[in-house]
Amino acid sequence: MRVVRVIDGTVVLEDHGHSECVTSVAFSPNGTMIASGSGDKTMRVVRVIDGKIVLEDHGHSDWVTSVAFSPDGR
């Protein structure tokens, strides 16, 4: 997944390692996290400020085609 961070007008691109196409992306309500689902059967949650993967789920039996945060950010 390519994550674009904009900090003080500077655009930074980061690669967070999905090995197949990213099928879904969602920002947390407060904008601090990005969730992504992929054809590689994984879901990841990445912290925007530093790009750190904070959650990675490999337990899916097929493509992850939808990710979302609840209104409270979970």
Report the predicted TM-score, pTM, of the whole model to 2 decimal places: 0.74
> Could you give the CA distance from residue 74 to residue 58 in angstroms, rounded to a whole number?
18
Q: Is residue 35 part of a domain?
A: yes
Q: Is residue 74 part of a domain?
A: no
Q: Is residue 53 part of a domain?
A: yes
SS3 state of residue 62: coil
Q: Is residue 63 part of a domain?
A: no
Q: Is residue 40 part of a domain?
A: yes
pLDDT higher than 70, residue 2: no
Q: Report pLDDT digits (tens) over 39-52.
A: 888 888 988 888 78
> Is the backbone of residue 9 left (phi > 0), alpha (psi -120 to 50) or beta?
left
Tokens at 37, concatenated = 């689902």
Q: In the chain, how many domains are there? A: 1
Q: Is residue 71 part of a domain?
A: no
Q: Is residue 69 part of a domain?
A: no
Q: Is residue 17 part of a domain?
A: yes
